[in-house]
Structure 1
């Protein structure tokens, strides 16, 4: 199941949009921290890369331009690294303990009358993200608070 970099990048973008960034999930999953850092990097790193090259060029001319361009490329790679990590993580199988938790939440949501996708026999993190997003969007806070 070899994936291309572009597929991982696209999966990371979708996973970042699907995963619910809620305070209850921060201690349980690293996704919340990675998504927050990646969103910050997407906003701040391109201007920082341009500023780095512009300041180096204006201060020293062409002498340090190669170093400044290398630093700019590094700054631009940070959000890409976050998206690639998220894409890779979204396609990983859930560990057994998290998988049983996924089944428990899925069953309780069905009992509450929520429309959820069919339960996967071997779920991945992207299925967990979709289930958690539905849980936080459709169920009241008192019901979801018992799970965390």
Structure 2
């Protein structure tokens, strides 16, 4: 989740960008929402609703964990052929400009794509 660049223009090219942004949002705000829901249920429902409040609390609290797991599963998947070709061209271009970066060229995964995008943005920032 942290490896994917936080650049809005990526949403035009990659559907994964939207999933990463949702994951970041969920990871940041849902633990607070879970605690708020727990406290409000106890405040308005009293002690006899403790079991229900705990169920809601743990369910909402599990959503960020689910998001991280799903993003991790996606990061380990191989890129589709068209995107893999684009990735290989990007690695070749970065290597032509800066030397030798160590990224896989055989069966790249989404995590490799995120790394390449980070390197590309870092190089474009240094060249300006």
Task: Flag whether TM exceeds 0.5 (same fold).
Answer: yes
**Is the Cα–Cα contact under 8 Å of residues 38 and 83 in structure 1 kept in the other structure?**
yes
1: CA distance, partners of 2:52 / 2:58: 10
- What does residue 22 of structure 2 align with? 37
Trace 1:110-125 onto structure 2 (pairs within 5 A).
Answer: 110-125=95-110
Deviations 1:65-95 (A, max 9, x none): 2222111112111111110111001110111
Q: How far off is 1:119 after superposition? A: 3.8
**Is the Cα–Cα contact under 8 Å of residues 11 and 18 in structure 2 kept in the other structure?**
yes
Q: How far off is 1:57 after superposition? A: 1.3
Q: Quote the RMSD (CA, aligned, Å).
A: 2.2
1: CA distance, partners of 2:28 / 2:49: 26
Could you tell me the TM-score, scaled by structure 2's length?
0.86
Trace 1:60-75 onto structure 2 (pairs within 5 A).
Answer: 60-75=45-60
Structure 1 residue corresponding to 2:87, chosen from 102, 110, 116: 102
- What does residue 28 of structure 1 align with? 13
2: CA distance, partners of 1:91 / 1:135: 21
Deviant stretches of 4+, over 4 Å: none
Could you tell me the TM-score, scaled by structure 1's length?
0.76
2: CA distance, partners of 1:141 / 1:67: 53
**Is the Cα–Cα contact under 8 Å of residues 103 and 112 in structure 2 kept in the other structure?**
no
Range with bigger deviation, 85-94 or 52-61: 52-61
